[in-house]
Structure 1
Amino acid sequence: FIHPNILRVDADLRWMRAGSVMRKVKSRTWKKQRYFRLQDDCATIWYKSEKAGNAHCTFSISDVETVREGHQSEVLLSIADEFPPDRCFTLVFRGRRGNLDLVAESAEEAQSWVRGMRKLIENLESMGEQEKLDQWICDWFKKADKNGDGRMNFKEVQDLLKMMNMDMNEHHAMRLFTLADKSESGTLEDDEFVLFYKLLTERPEVRRLFQQHSSDGHTLSLWDLEVFLREGQLEQENLREHAAELVLCYEPSDTAKTRQAMTIDGFLMYLGSPEGSVFNPSRKQLYQDMRQPLCHYFICSSHNTYLMENQLRGHSSVEGYIRALSRGCRCVEVDCWDGPNGEPIVYHGYTLTSKILFKDVVSVMGQYAFKASQYPVILSMENHCSVEQQRVLAHHLTCILGDKLLQNALEGRSVSGGLPSPEDLKGKILLKGKKIGGLGASVSAVGEDSPVGDVSEEDERLEMEEENHHDDTLRRKAKRLSKELSDCVVYCKSVRFSSFKHARIHSKFYEISSFTEFKAKKHMKEAGADFVHHNSRQLTRIYPSGFRTDSSNFNPQEMWSVGCQIVALNFQTAGVEMDLNDGLFGQNGRCGYVLKPLFMRSAEKQFDPEHPQMLDRSGPLTLTIQVISGQQLPKVNQKEGSIVDPLVRVELHGVPLDQAKLETHHIENNGFNPIWDETLKFTVHVPELALVRFVVEDYDKTSKNDFVGQFTLPFSCIQQGYRHIHLLSKDGTKIPPSSLFVHIRITQRT
């Protein structure tokens, strides 16, 4: 919450609460006036069209990821000649929601909104868990208080319960209402509503757990907490110290703190905190060795990065690069074609997708490449340009990126020394593309009539025809490559793949091959162990088939299982495949690099994902998940009276032998506090490659279940014991306070 005193003295927030008329801009020709105002709760922006009468919309400050000043979006750049940058700003929303581009009436007004929004976002991010929950309760109170009198009668409370995804027995609801109505006025006011919410959200399953471990039935002593950490949370080290830290950190009562004890409120706060989460907090930090060769890491990678929609008619935008890079993506793709006025353009060839300038893409790369991670970014170039415009490509890369572009092999490394590490290449952008000669080779200028083979490696039109076997005699037309562009390629020289045997004998460490998903699957089936061995020495990029015109994705897990590093996905398309990608790269500081298991990095090991039993180890693990309960699941269907019938599915993704899915029964009409109390068991042969995905769905016996929320994490990052799983939306954004409560145990199978 924003303290009332701050509201009185903060000029920016006062200006925002008074409201402003600004232009909402969607294109050069679409500019409409809208009235924007910060609501009294300082958590919501209200806006309406001057012509729309009473119609208005709102969005929450928590939906806004960041604020950009000036002409920092394509839309605002397109009107740069019309409105100066000091009057323009962009609100960037979380997930895949489009930006809001605004032009204020004055520079002073724009600055007030920019500063004010940043303060509000910062305030939200610094809130404690309890404050966030209080804010959430407050939001619901306002939604349900239809007449805005700051009180709620029983009818409004009943409507609220339906809005909150709960179909409660009327008698039970009235009992809780009466208990909370301390003033006996027949309505609930602020504090009374908070009490009602606490009665409503009473967690019997947590209370039972608390009582089981409490010596006196009221609090957990340090000794009680130590026993709980050992038996309930399956922790082993520094238990006494950890128990004392938990009391200090999460116990709200000063009296209990003084007695070094924890109340039920402190216990709930601990279980709901990041420390009580299923994702081990220590694995969220940068914890891996970053000094191994590049080919020893999985690298977060995007395909058709410039597209915001599908690849037939979609909108091309530099925003695609900003979003991918901001999410920790470390390999982006750019399709370059000859453009008018000698300026190369970027778009999906042979389709109706819109076009953007290559130099704008490079400018954005320079700005955003290292905001989310300092580790190297690979720019995977599909070059369809003439030699003249290739020189322009090289000019833009070298002039705009400057020192950020890696143009020479690193000093102190011999030409045969192997790939450098992410640590060695911090702050560098590497171009992946065709190159004349080898690393460090001195090449004289190439004449325009000197063919050097294929300039583009991934001509998808040809790939589609090859995959469809329409004409096996098709051959790529030899194009010429400019010396200037060739010189920009250092450690990622694109080469056509012939065979694993050929690569073993002839491949250089700085060479990289690309495969469509179908070709990769073919190699996996025919020679899985050879593929793993190849990827211990060389970089490999896998990209979606040209048939995926809807920009859907293939399952990346299969490619990671043979050690492919650059598994490129359509970031603009939500779904299980992007959930897996976000899950894998959610660890290691979200830096975009995850170290492969040792048996995939060593040339001596022989690992075949089809036969993982051949690994020298003491047998598989058993993963036991007790799905206990759910908390405040979001509504799927916004129709009045519609309530979720939730079920939980747990999916194990890994080598073929580990693939498995199990689910609970569904609970009728309760998305608010469902209790399943079901146990699901999995066998895990290769835990190092396994991902676990928790999915909540709304059961429907007549049609496909609706998606409610999910959370995906690497098996190696799981915390055992009683844990909360904080659910994410289809877009991968948080949906607080929605969660699952589970107990997890990992044991050696005997």
Structure 2
Amino acid sequence: MASLLQGRLPASEDLLLMQNGTMMRKVRSRSWKKLRYFRLQEDGMTVWHARTVGGSAKPSFSISDVETVREGHESELLRSLAEEFPLEQGFTVVFHGRRSNLDLVAGSVAEAQVWMAGLQLLVDAVTNMDQQERLDQWLSDWFYRGDKNQDGRMTFQEVQRLLHLMNVEMDPDYALQLFQMADTSQSGTLEGGEFVEFYKALMKRDEVQELFENFSADGQKLTLLEFVDFLREEQKEGERAPDLALELIDRYEPSESGKLRHVLSMDGLLSYLSSKDGDIFNPACLPVYQDMTQPLNHYYISSSHNTYLLGDQFCGQSSVEGYIRALKRGCRCLEVDIWDGPNGEPIVYHGHTLTSRILFKDVVASVAQYAFQTSDYPVILSLENHCSWDQQQTLASHLTEILGDQLLSTTVDGLLPTQLPSPEELRRKILVKGKKLQTLEEDLEEEEEEEELELQLEREGEPELEPEVQSEPEGPELSPRSQDKRKRPKSVLCPSLSALVVYLKSVSFHSFAHSRDHYRFYEISSFSEAKAKSLIKEAGNEFVQHNAWQLSRVYPSGLRTDSSNYNPQELWNAGCQMVAMNVQTAGLEMDICDGLFRQNGGCGYVLKPGFLRDAQSTFYPERPVGPSKAQILRIQVISGQQLPKGAKTKEGTIVDPLVRVEVFGVRPDTARQETNHVENNGFNPYWGETLCFRVQVPELALLRFLVKDYNWKFRDDFVGQYTLPWTCMQQGYRHIHLLSKDGISLHPASIFVHICIEEEPEEAEF
């Protein structure tokens, strides 16, 4: 069965050379650099490597795992080896998720160019596949794995082995019956097209067939009116159902005659249900759909903690890759811990630990390059400044010179604002958050005075006087409010760096009353997770009101040396905007974070509910009363499709899947329920169980669907998950397309559910 990818690609000399194989140096560190023989397999989808030409080979990576390919000069590791290897001979394979990059050095510039161009050609082809093509490629990959002797055909013994790999345990007699039905050539083997028919027989969806027949009068097709009824009654599409029905038939009906007659076949219905239109996530919530003209403090902002780290906080690796990954996943607030470095160059690392060090200017250069590749909305650099006066001046120089026009260095219109600007007003701007010597009002007043002086000097024709050179100050930083302008003590904060902080002046938090009386809307306080949680318990409503006019940043406990995460939901419930996460660490907490920011174009900004934007809000996170009626959610977990094995699933065994549904929101809404497990079937398990939840504040709720491999002896093993906001959930018959722990698609793995949401009925009066 030829790879679908091969049929989609133009004739390419590069791919032929890659299939011949190339000796290249694999680079893991400055000291680990070893020659390996890399070769693109005939399927065009996998690259294998061996120690020598003709040596025992093993898989290195799949093209579907590759995000992009970068040139050598973009790799900090290869740059550090520039004296050993010409950068033009190096390149980096960048993978989806948290997998480490693969740095390679070819024997010549020409060989490097072949691999870079060839890999990018393959990656682009995979990225541009539609739903059917992706499924066909998935089948092609399995055929390639199952065809042990690579003769392009599969015996029944090979098929049995493949079924086990695909998580299917089937009666051998029934498997043989399906095999013989698919073997139309009666050769005793299955070739490409025959294998596809065998797969279709395996994947017969009885539950979808039953659904089809419930709405089809003749059991052969859904007429336009029948499909409209289905969309209106089951999918809750309402008034748009007639127009939508025509669109969906045109999009998903495989038969041209069916399209002309405006009818939908069983295959067409299944194609629709498996598509983005049939997904649980509402397509209307995928682009930027929210109002982006409100003040910054009205939004949740995707935020990263210790952004420079790829591992733990004690001896993990610091890398600009941390910033690149955070920005590409939509983070809009990045943390930078800066310390004095050698040769006058500030460095970034986790202070007083064994984490490696990177140059501040390299961080800024990476931010400049990647800031707006995923989102046009503003990026915030949260500076933790531990530098001396001289190196602070270097910080300011790097920020202004490297970022240029991207850096916001004064108010958006040069005038004194009355509220924070909106994400829309700050498009493609980078803001600095940090300490500031004086108020924004004083800054603007000084700018005005300087402009007037310049105009006066121009009119009088006098040469401008050189400013006096300031010596490095000593002594503690004092609040500008307590300083007399004429007798202000010298400060440890450098004025040129202070001037770059405009809307995000860091101030210490004392109490909510103190903030109301002394702070301005552009001043921001940071809270440890423990402090924030205690404030929510002690004064939750005051915290909500505080966050309605001022920004708050929450960061993980310093005791989380393993870079673990807290659950951000409790902090979002109080309206905290910048809930900083260790994005390098996968798990439940990051699933919740990714789930919230999956909406609104993944732009990193999500508008808070109205009751969290009101400075007189009466909302209490710990004792919530929703602004509307409570809702009842009924989820029928029907079936699963092509579930992968878990990481801990023993070799030779098949998963016993169960589905857990978790609701995260205000405390009374947080709950979880799960189905029973299905034994020995990860290919097409059937549950048919209904789970029920009551939610008081749906505006804050998220749902997480978790598939696990049941294990009665040990902890159930993770198989896949998907998390989304309650407000982005579609009702009706929906597929949930599962993601890995790293948030990468596990296509075609999915679960099929029916979703019904109703308002809680009024209590009957007697």
TM-score, scaled relative to structure 1 = 0.94
1:158 lines up with 2:170 in the alignment: no
Q: CA deviation at 1:238?
A: 2.4
Identify which range, 251-260 or 87-96, moves more after superposition: 251-260
Q: Distance in 2 between matches of 1:635 and 1:486?
A: 53
1:740 lines up with 2:751 in the alignment: yes
1:620 lines up with 2:622 in the alignment: no
- Matched to 2:561, the amino acid is T
1:451 lines up with 2:475 in the alignment: yes
Q: Distance in 2 between matches of 1:238 and 1:317?
A: 49
Q: CA deviation at 1:479?
A: 7.5
- Preserved CA contact (<8 Å) 1:515 1:541: yes
1:716 lines up with 2:727 in the alignment: yes
- Matched to 1:408, the amino acid is T
Q: Distance in 2 between matches of 1:179 and 1:590?
A: 46
- Residue aligning to 2:577: 565
- Residue aligning to 1:492: 504
With over 3 angstroms needed to count, the CA separation of the structure-2 counterparts of 1:315 and 1:52, relative to structure 1, is farther
- The residue correspondences of 1:695-706 to structure 2 (distance < 5 A) are 695-706=706-717
Q: Distance in 2 between matches of 1:428 and 1:710?
A: 34
Q: Distance in 2 between matches of 1:447 and 1:563?
A: 43
- The residue correspondences of 1:83-232 to structure 2 (distance < 5 A) are 83-232=85-234
Q: Distance in 2 between matches of 1:522 and 1:359?
A: 38
Residue in structure 1 matching 2:515, options 500, 503, 522: 503
Runs of 4+ in 1 over 6 A off after TM superposition: 443-446
Q: Distance in 2 between matches of 1:526 and 1:625?
A: 36
- The residue correspondences of 1:369-448 to structure 2 (distance < 5 A) are 369-411=371-413, 413-415=415-417, 417-442=418-443, 448=472
With over 3 angstroms needed to count, the CA separation of the structure-2 counterparts of 1:550 and 1:422, relative to structure 1, is same
Q: Distance in 1 between matches of 2:4 and 2:423?
A: 42
- Preserved CA contact (<8 Å) 1:338 1:345: yes
Residue in structure 1 matching 2:664, options 653, 668, 671: 653
- Residue aligning to 1:599: 611
1:671 lines up with 2:672 in the alignment: no
5+ long unaligned stretches in structure 1: 456-477
Q: Distance in 1 between matches of 2:122 and 2:150?
A: 24
The SS at the match of 1:710 is strand
With over 3 angstroms needed to count, the CA separation of the structure-2 counterparts of 1:692 and 1:380, relative to structure 1, is same
Residue in structure 2 matching 1:632, options 626, 639, 642: 642
- Matched to 1:26, the amino acid is R
- Matched to 1:715, the amino acid is W
- Preserved CA contact (<8 Å) 2:5 2:45: no
Superposed CA deviations along residues 579-612 of structure 1, whole A, max 9, x for unmatched, are 0010000000000000001111112322111222
Q: Distance in 2 between matches of 1:454 and 1:181?
A: 84
Q: CA deviation at 1:30?
A: 2.2
Q: CA deviation at 1:112?
A: 2.4
With over 3 angstroms needed to count, the CA separation of the structure-2 counterparts of 1:106 and 1:490, relative to structure 1, is same
Q: CA deviation at 1:454?
A: 8.3
Q: Distance in 2 between matches of 1:451 and 1:520?
A: 31
Superposed CA deviations along residues 271-316 of structure 1, whole A, max 9, x for unmatched, are 1111110000110110011110000000000000011110011111
Residue in structure 2 matching 1:261, options 254, 260, 263: 263
With over 3 angstroms needed to count, the CA separation of the structure-2 counterparts of 1:6 and 1:555, relative to structure 1, is closer
- Preserved CA contact (<8 Å) 1:652 1:691: yes
Q: CA deviation at 1:64?
A: 0.2
Superposed CA deviations along residues 211-239 of structure 1, whole A, max 9, x for unmatched, are 11112111111111111101121110222
With over 3 angstroms needed to count, the CA separation of the structure-2 counterparts of 1:496 and 1:6, relative to structure 1, is closer
- Preserved CA contact (<8 Å) 2:8 2:125: no
- Matched to 1:379, the amino acid is L
Residue in structure 2 matching 1:346, options 316, 330, 348: 348
With over 3 angstroms needed to count, the CA separation of the structure-2 counterparts of 1:435 and 1:52, relative to structure 1, is farther
- Residue aligning to 1:480: 492
- Residue aligning to 1:590: 602
Q: CA deviation at 1:343?
A: 1.1
Superposed CA deviations along residues 397-442 of structure 1, whole A, max 9, x for unmatched, are 1111111111111215424x11001111111111111100101424
The SS at the match of 1:661 is strand
- Matched to 2:393, the amino acid is R
The SS at the match of 2:246 is helix
- Residue aligning to 2:462: none
Identify which range, 230-239 or 90-99, moves more after superposition: 230-239
- The residue correspondences of 1:281-296 to structure 2 (distance < 5 A) are 281-296=283-298
- Preserved CA contact (<8 Å) 1:445 1:483: no
Q: Distance in 2 between matches of 1:621 and 1:447?
A: 65
- Preserved CA contact (<8 Å) 1:96 1:572: yes
- Residue aligning to 2:592: 580
- Preserved CA contact (<8 Å) 2:279 2:737: yes
The SS at the match of 2:238 is coil
- Residue aligning to 2:540: 528
Q: CA deviation at 1:80?
A: 2.1
- Residue aligning to 2:621: 609
Q: Distance in 2 between matches of 1:606 and 1:148?
A: 69
Q: Distance in 1 between matches of 2:500 and 2:380?
A: 12
With over 3 angstroms needed to count, the CA separation of the structure-2 counterparts of 1:452 and 1:419, relative to structure 1, is farther
The SS at the match of 2:302 is strand
The SS at the match of 2:94 is strand
Equivalent residues, number:
725
With over 3 angstroms needed to count, the CA separation of the structure-2 counterparts of 1:510 and 1:81, relative to structure 1, is same
Q: Distance in 2 between matches of 1:7 and 1:683?
A: 51
- Matched to 2:576, the amino acid is C
Superposed CA deviations along residues 720-745 of structure 1, whole A, max 9, x for unmatched, are 00000000001111111000000001
Superposed CA deviations along residues 370-415 of structure 1, whole A, max 9, x for unmatched, are 1111111111111111112111111111111111111111215424
Identify which range, 226-235 or 51-60, moves more after superposition: 51-60
Superposed CA deviations along residues 90-137 of structure 1, whole A, max 9, x for unmatched, are 110011111011222232322222222222111112211111111111
- Preserved CA contact (<8 Å) 2:669 2:694: yes
With over 3 angstroms needed to count, the CA separation of the structure-2 counterparts of 1:273 and 1:22, relative to structure 1, is same
5+ long unaligned stretches in structure 2: 447-467, 480-489, 762-766
With over 3 angstroms needed to count, the CA separation of the structure-2 counterparts of 1:616 and 1:250, relative to structure 1, is closer
The SS at the match of 2:291 is coil
Q: CA deviation at 1:8?
A: 6.8
Q: CA deviation at 1:13?
A: 2.3
- Preserved CA contact (<8 Å) 1:436 1:452: no
Q: Distance in 1 between matches of 2:474 and 2:423?
A: 36
With over 3 angstroms needed to count, the CA separation of the structure-2 counterparts of 1:426 and 1:265, relative to structure 1, is same
Superposed CA deviations along residues 598-639 of structure 1, whole A, max 9, x for unmatched, are 1111123221112222x443x201111110000011111454
Q: CA deviation at 1:20?
A: 2.1
Q: CA deviation at 1:2?
A: 5.7
Q: Distance in 2 between matches of 1:84 and 1:391?
A: 34
- Residue aligning to 1:367: 369
- Preserved CA contact (<8 Å) 1:375 1:427: yes
- Preserved CA contact (<8 Å) 2:30 2:77: yes
Identify which range, 35-44 or 382-391, moves more after superposition: 35-44
User: Percent of aligned positions with the same letter in both sequences?
Assistant: 58
- Preserved CA contact (<8 Å) 1:27 1:78: no
- Residue aligning to 2:695: 684
TM-score, scaled relative to structure 2 = 0.92
